[in-house]
Each structure stands twice: as C-alpha cells, then as structure tokens.
Chains A and B, each alone.
Chain A
C-alpha cells in the first residue's frame, strides 16, 4: 500500500519536474514565449532541454576523474625526482581542494536554470489542488529536486572513489598494506559523500536566493537582469574553465608538482594554515595526507585538516538542514516569500520622454534584449566565441601566404563564427518585433526608422569580438598577419550583416505596399534561410578571395558594397513612404 503510494508520489514528482523545466524555459524565453511554445509543440527534443544540461554537467564532472589519478601519479614521480615532501603535500592539498570546488561550480552552473524553475514554487501550485497530504507534497518536493540533478549526483559521488582506486592500485598499491588501501578508498567515499551533500545544499540555497530575486514581480529589476546576464557568462566561463583545466591540467600537473616552488618551512606554514579552512582545503589536505604518509606530514597540518573537516561536516549538516527547510517551504501551499520592499510609484514620478524615432526604437530593443536570455546570448556570443577560440589554444601557426597577405586558419575559423553570429543577429533583431504586435499595429510607424535602428548591432559586438580576440593572441607568431586581415575586414562584417538583414526583410517582409521588418511571409521558411546563408557565405568567400589577391581589392569591394547597400536601403525604405517600390 505504502509502496503503491510512493509510486504515485514519484509519478507526481515527474509531472512537477516537467512543469519546472517548462517554467525555466519560459522564463528564459522572455517575450518569445509564444514562439517557444509553438516550437515544443512540434519538436520533442526542444521539450526536454534539461537533458542537455544534465549530459554536459555529467560529462564535465566525469572528466574530472583524471585529476586525482594524475595527481597521485605525479606526486610519487616527483617525490623520487627530489621534490620536497612538504611541497608535495601543499601542492596536492591545493589540487584536491580545487577538485572539490570545481565539482561544486559545475553542479551549480548547470543545474541553476532548472533549480530556479523548481524554487519558484510555481510548479507545485497545481499539485496542491489534488488530494495529497502536506507530508506527501513535501516528499514530492524533495523527489522533484533530486530528479533535476540525479545523473550529476551519481557521477559526483562516484568520481573520487573510482579515481582513487585506480590511482592507488596503479602506483603505491603493491607496496602498502591492504588496510591502507581500504582506508584511502573509504576516506574518498566519505569525502565524496560529504562534499556531494554540501554541494546539493549549496545549490538549493543559491537557487532559492536567485528565485527570490527572479520572482516574477521583480523580474524587471536591474538585479534580476544582472543575474541573468551573469549566469549566461557563467556558462561560458565554466565551459572555458573546465576545458582549460583539462587541457592545462594534463600538461602541467606534473610540472607543478616538480616545481618545488616553496621552501620546506614555507610549505609547512601555508599547509598548516590552509588545512584549517573547512571548505575546500580540509578535504583536500585530508586526502593528500592519506595518500602520502602520516609520518612525514607536520602534526599541525594533520590536526588542522581533521578539525577543518569536522567543521566542514558541521557546516554541511547546517546547510542541508537549511536546504530541507527551504524545500519544505517551497512545496507548502503558502510559500514563505521574503517580502521585497519596494518603492511605491507616486503620480509625480510619471514623466514621459519624446525621443527621435530611431533612438526610441533602439531604446526599446535594448530594454527587451537585456531582459531576455536568448537575445543576450546573441549579443554576447560574437564577443565570447573569438576570445574563446583564441584562449583555448586553437591558434595554430598554420597559414598560407599569398603575395603580401597571410591567410591563417584561425582567421577562417573566425569567418565561420562571424557568419553564424551574423545569422543569429539577423534573426534576433527581427524577432524583437514580434511580441508587441498590438501596440505596434496602432502606431504610425515609419519602417525606415525601425530598420535604421537595427543597423548599429552589426557594427557593434562582432567587430568588438574580433578586436578583443586580437588582444588575446598578441604574442602569437601569426599576430601581425591576422591583425592586417582583421583590420581590413572590419567593414566586411557590418556589410555582410546589413546585406543579410535586407535580404531577410526582402524575403520575409514584403507586405503589400512596403517592406516591413517583421516576418510576414512565413512560407518556405527553411529554403529562404538557406538562401540567405548561401548568399552571405558567398559574399564572405568573395571577400576572402579578394584578400588573397591583395588589400587594395578588399577595400575596393568594401566601397562598392557599401554604396550598393546604401542605395538598396534607400530604395526599399524611401524617406517618403508612398514612393515605395518593390525590389524585383
């Protein structure tokens, strides 16, 4: 009977969970909600975006297994190469601490979106109208949360024990007693469990904090926008960070242990202090001490890490208790929300401003963009992607020299980025127009102004991204070649962007007596987009080809294209509307 009931609860938690996923997605979709809902109607994959987050997080967490393994290998190698025992203890304490911390970061960043959805309490509202008791609803709350991070949890608890077992059995295993091996494995299980609990608790507390800020009625606040932009950046930085840790870690871990960078005295002193720090270093040192040898480690470090770890356990206990209270409150019918004090609008605050139309459009677009996850991504991507590529070391010294021009592989990769980003920008600047249809429908709008307000985007972030990525690779041998190319291409990006935009308007926005920015003619969508991509890619190829011939040709092409664009723009969007003529 109870078993049956639990099954019902588990089923209910699935519904709540699905609801939360949708909730989180809708929140990030902002004013594109309608579009999003239409998409998930057709697309099954779009319905479960959580799987992608789970998968990514699990892959990242699992890929961390190498850290303890390599760490143990290097420690023993460097011990025989002459690194001091104290230095190794210090270094491995730091590396292990980093290991625990990175786990937390990965968990939080990738689960945060979903956790917001759950923490808002919204998904539980409907459950309350069904015949469930309070206790049962609490249980559903916990089940739902566990569901949202189930795969990560398993990965997180297994990574360290498996990693240590492999590492120990391959290194010192044959030389030490079975009891010591078991002790090390047992310790890594304990550490793993305590840290996993700690991580879950932190995730729950953090996501509740964020949910309060993001609580719908405070959705518009600067703080909420900031957090949204912040998480977006966090996704990128964590991906970049993990990538670099894997990359740099594999290459340099051994060197780090071999560095022997501090004197015995200094190493001991710092270890003594750090081992008292409950999170993440006490766990790190405890592991390090077990793997090395008790006898060699300064007694204070041992005492410190034990005391530190006990404190860590205590903190974990408190964190979990707090987290459970939060979950209980979330799933209770009256969510105990922190009342956010807000200033009341008084009549005197109401003032309207009259701006020139183009600026008014831009202001509107920016206020929408900064509140919508998808739009922010489109704005940020062009800056992030080139830098990302430059940093992660894909800047191969591979290039072809034609006359005076050096065409690098790096630059070609950049061009592919520019094309994708341009497309994304074209789509997003035009989709801003949907969402306010009824207001726009009644306004006497000059399409020329509206169109003009879109153009600055193509001069903005893509160009900035290219220039910033140059800064990153300033030391690279291909810097000068790429610099010339980038500078001569600076106008190409906006030209291609605006050309693509005009093309999109031409294909989608032919509306009776004029062209409009909105998508009016939605038929043959796919073919139309393919056509746009083909044509702007062709333009790009043309420019790259002209770069091969010589800089003078690029500049000539740019000048010609610019004149053509201005002409086309004025033709499609004349100053006096009634003169509008169709192109083709």
Chain B
C-alpha cells in the first residue's frame, strides 16, 4: 500500500444541484489515511450524492475534489484501481451468478488468480455466503446481494473504501464481520468513507463524523467532540442529532398526532 501523510480525500466547497434541489451545498472535509470517516444524515440529506461526486459518477457544479491527489473526473481509471465501493442499491447484474461476477472483476482488475481465489473463499466463508456462489444474483435476498457487493469492493485490497449504507440488509453476525473488516482495513492504514443514517452505527464505527442535513454540513468532529457538545446541552447524542438536523420539532409533532389517532380509535 502506498500511503503517505497527505489526506486521501480532499473535498472543498462542493455544490451539486438537481434542478431546483440543492443536494449538496458548499460541503468541505478531508479524510486522512487510516481514518474511518462517517457521513451521517437523515434520508435525502445528500450523502449518496456526495459519495457519487467523490467517485466521479456525477459532475460537480462547484468546488473541488481530490482523491489520492488525483482528479476524480479526469483520472477516473487510476483512482478506481485503488478504491472499493459499496453502493446504496446493490445494482449488480441480476442475470449473473456471483461466480461470473467475481471472474469478471478479477479479469477487469487484472488480479492474481490464486491470491484472489484464496481471498474470495475466505470472505465468502466468513460472511456465510458460500452456498450462493453459483446462484443467480436476481434470486439472492437483499442481504446476500449486499454481501456480494461488499466482497466485490474488498477483493483487490483497495486503499480507500467508499461504503454507502453498507450494513443495510445484513444480519447481526455479518454486520459484525463487516465492521471488523472496516476496523482492520483502517488499522492497516486504509481509509473509509462510511455513509449512514443511523446514529448508533456511526458512533460505533467512525473516527470522525460529518453530520449533514439538506446538503449542508451542520457538525463535524470526533465522536467525543460531538458527545461533549451533547453533554453541554444536557442531552444525549440522538437528541442533538435530531436538533442539529432540525427534525426535533417535527418528530414531536408527528408523535403527538399519532397518539391522538390511536387514542380516538380505542374509544370507539
């Protein structure tokens, strides 16, 4: 692995709109080598859009992104050689089997057959997915598709992992294994961008967390720093999270209305 002191990812004041919707609004952060960086925010906050911008899958409106000191749009191929990506929806070929898929990936990435085989066996075993190796991807459950995606992102020992809600659909055991892999990966000096809408997961895994809401950065810091902020306000992290993302009032409102509705039904 070729990892120096330079940040793996540099994101500077990026903005991206879809028509009237500003999905990412003037966002800046850096990800250092060996760091697990969390993108936390409610649904529609702009996490996936940010991730796709970093990957060069979407065009930037404004700002600048550097990955490994390279330009994601111009040096796409160079960057992708050292990167693993788990997307939000496992849009992997439905009419292929994992076997075909991994053969394809091995070929395109030009990986060593023996080494890759060994790793693949290991990963499939540890995620308990061996039996799906020759089944059609279309027939796999959401969780098993996700496992295949996770393995596909790891198989070439990338320096950088970009994981967009990677634990969706995984059972507790597999989730634990994936968390462990993330930890080992970062111990070895690799970086991770980890996008999630679940606070506990971010708290559990990430070294630093960026809380974003409606495309804007609302808080950035280590878990301790964010917790301190919460303590100062005399609340727990969840309350702070809801407050920061301006969801606290609307949640209370919704809960009140629900209570009313259930109550009325009972009376009848």
Once the chains bind, are A216 and B104 in contact (CB under 8 Å)? no
Stretch from B13-21, B129-137, B205-213, B233-241 forming part of the interface with A: B129-137
Once the chains bind, are A360 and B108 in contact (CB under 8 Å)? yes
Once the chains bind, are A345 and B133 in contact (CB under 8 Å)? yes
A352/B95 contact (C-beta < 8 A), A219-B139, A345-B130 known? no
Stretch from A107-115, A433-441, A534-542 forming part of the interface with B: A433-441
Once the chains bind, are A354 and B113 in contact (CB under 8 Å)? yes
A446/B93 contact (C-beta < 8 A), A350-B117, A350-B133, A352-B102 known? no
CB neighbours (8 Å) of B135 from chain A are 217, 220
Please tell me the number of chain B residues within 8 Å of chain A, measured between CB atoms.
58
A560 proximal to B (CB < 8 A): no
A3 proximal to B (CB < 8 A): no
A345/B117 contact (C-beta < 8 A), A353-B103, A438-B91 known? no
Hey, what's the 0/1 contact readout for A351-390 against B, CB within 8 Å counting as 1? 1111111011001100110011000000000000000000
CB neighbours (8 Å) of B101 from chain A are 439
Minimal Cβ-Cβ distance residue in B for A33: B94
A442/B84 contact (C-beta < 8 A), A217-B139, A360-B108, A364-B100 known? yes
CB neighbours (8 Å) of A179 from chain B are none
Within 8 A of A (CB), among B187-240: none
| CA of A564 to CA of B107, assembled, Å | 31
A346 proximal to B (CB < 8 A): yes
Once the chains bind, are A354 and B125 in contact (CB under 8 Å)? no
Q: Number of contact residues on A: which range applies?
A: 35 or more
CB neighbours (8 Å) of B120 from chain A are 350, 352
Once the chains bind, are A442 and B85 in contact (CB under 8 Å)? yes
A4 proximal to B (CB < 8 A): no
B31 proximal to A (CB < 8 A): no
Once the chains bind, are A445 and B108 in contact (CB under 8 Å)? yes
- Please pick, from B80, B103, B121, B138, the residue contacting A443 in the complex, using a CB distance under 8 A: B80
A356/B131 contact (C-beta < 8 A), A216-B138, A216-B139, A442-B84 known? no
Query: Inter-chain contact count A-B, CB under 8 Å?
Result: 151
Once the chains bind, are B92 and A353 in contact (CB under 8 Å)? no
| CA of A355 to CA of B113, assembled, Å | 10
Once the chains bind, are B80 and A355 in contact (CB under 8 Å)? no
CB neighbours (8 Å) of A353 from chain B are 103, 106-107, 113
Once the chains bind, are A435 and B91 in contact (CB under 8 Å)? yes
A512 proximal to B (CB < 8 A): yes
Once the chains bind, are A347 and B121 in contact (CB under 8 Å)? yes
Once the chains bind, are B113 and A347 in contact (CB under 8 Å)? no
Once the chains bind, are A368 and B96 in contact (CB under 8 Å)? yes
Once the chains bind, are B87 and A441 in contact (CB under 8 Å)? yes
Once the chains bind, are B149 and A438 in contact (CB under 8 Å)? yes
Minimal Cβ-Cβ distance residue in A for B110: A354
Stretch from B2-10, B70-78, B177-185 forming part of the interface with A: B70-78
Hey, what's the 0/1 contact readout for A18-41 against B, CB within 8 Å counting as 1? 000000000000110100000000
Minimal Cβ-Cβ distance residue in A for B97: A220
A350/B121 contact (C-beta < 8 A), A345-B134, A512-B59 known? yes
Once the chains bind, are A442 and B55 in contact (CB under 8 Å)? yes
Within 8 A of A (CB), among B141-170: 149, 152-153
Q: How far is the CB of B49 from chain A (nearest CB, A)?
A: 14
- Please pick, from A217, A352, A356, A577, the residue contacting B77 in the complex, using a CB distance under 8 A: A577
CB neighbours (8 Å) of B265 from chain A are none
| CA of A371 to CA of B137, assembled, Å | 12
Minimal Cβ-Cβ distance residue in A for B119: A352
- Please pick, from A217, A344, A349, A442, the residue contacting B80 in the complex, using a CB distance under 8 A: A442
Once the chains bind, are B133 and A364 in contact (CB under 8 Å)? no
CB neighbours (8 Å) of A368 from chain B are 93, 95-96
Hey, what's the 0/1 contact readout for A58-90 against B, CB within 8 Å counting as 1? 000000000000000000000000000000000
A7 proximal to B (CB < 8 A): no
Once the chains bind, are B95 and A363 in contact (CB under 8 Å)? no
B32 proximal to A (CB < 8 A): no
Once the chains bind, are B117 and A352 in contact (CB under 8 Å)? yes
A31/B109 contact (C-beta < 8 A), A351-B117, A367-B100 known? no
| CA of A345 to CA of B125, assembled, Å | 11
CB neighbours (8 Å) of A33 from chain B are 94
Once the chains bind, are B109 and A346 in contact (CB under 8 Å)? no
Once the chains bind, are B103 and A352 in contact (CB under 8 Å)? yes
Once the chains bind, are A346 and B130 in contact (CB under 8 Å)? yes
Minimal Cβ-Cβ distance residue in B for A370: B95
B57 proximal to A (CB < 8 A): yes
Minimal Cβ-Cβ distance residue in A for B134: A345
| CA of A364 to CA of B100, assembled, Å | 7
Hey, what's the 0/1 contact readout for B43-56 against A, CB within 8 Å counting as 1? 00000000000010
CB neighbours (8 Å) of A441 from chain B are 55, 57, 85, 87
Q: How far is the CB of B129 from chain A (nearest CB, A)?
A: 10
Hey, what's the 0/1 contact readout for A415-454 against B, CB within 8 Å counting as 1? 0000000000000000000011111011111100000000
A175 proximal to B (CB < 8 A): no
Once the chains bind, are A435 and B93 in contact (CB under 8 Å)? yes
Q: How far is the CB of B67 from chain A (nearest CB, A)?
A: 13
Within 8 A of B (CB), among A488-518: 512-513
- Please pick, from B84, B89, B106, B121, the residue contacting A354 in the complex, using a CB distance under 8 A: B106
| CA of A443 to CA of B109, assembled, Å | 7
Once the chains bind, are B92 and A443 in contact (CB under 8 Å)? no
A578 proximal to B (CB < 8 A): yes
A363/B124 contact (C-beta < 8 A), A219-B138, A436-B91, A442-B55 known? no
Minimal Cβ-Cβ distance residue in A for B88: A438
CB neighbours (8 Å) of A446 from chain B are 77
Within 8 A of A (CB), among B25-52: none
CB neighbours (8 Å) of B57 from chain A are 441
CB neighbours (8 Å) of B108 from chain A are 357, 360, 443-445
CB neighbours (8 Å) of A444 from chain B are 76-81, 108-109
- Please pick, from B105, B106, B112, the residue contacting A439 in the complex, using a CB distance under 8 A: B105
Q: How far is the CB of B85 from chain A (nearest CB, A)?
A: 4
- Please pick, from A216, A355, A357, A436, the residue contacting B92 in the complex, using a CB distance under 8 A: A436
| CA of A353 to CA of B104, assembled, Å | 8
Q: How far is the CB of A512 from chain B (nearest CB, A)?
A: 5
Once the chains bind, are A345 and B96 in contact (CB under 8 Å)? no
Q: How far is the CB of B126 from chain A (nearest CB, A)?
A: 11
CB neighbours (8 Å) of A31 from chain B are 93-95, 138
Q: What is the interface of chain A, defined by CB distance below 8 A to chain B? A: 30-31, 33, 216-217, 219-220, 344-347, 349-357, 359-360, 363-364, 367-368, 371-372, 435-439, 441-446, 512-513, 577-578
User: What are the nearest 7 A-B pairs in CB distance?
Assistant: A360-B107, A442-B85, A438-B87, A220-B136, A444-B80, A436-B93, A371-B95
14 of the cross-chain contacts (CB-CB < 8 Å) are A30-B95, A216-B138, A344-B131, A345-B132, A346-B130, A347-B121, A350-B121, A352-B117, A353-B103, A354-B111, A354-B116, A367-B95, A513-B73, A513-B76
17 more contacts with CB within 8 A, not counting A352-B102, A352-B117, are A345-B132, A347-B130, A349-B134, A350-B117, A351-B117, A352-B106, A354-B106, A354-B110, A360-B104, A364-B104, A436-B93, A437-B87, A438-B87, A442-B85, A443-B108, A444-B76, A445-B108
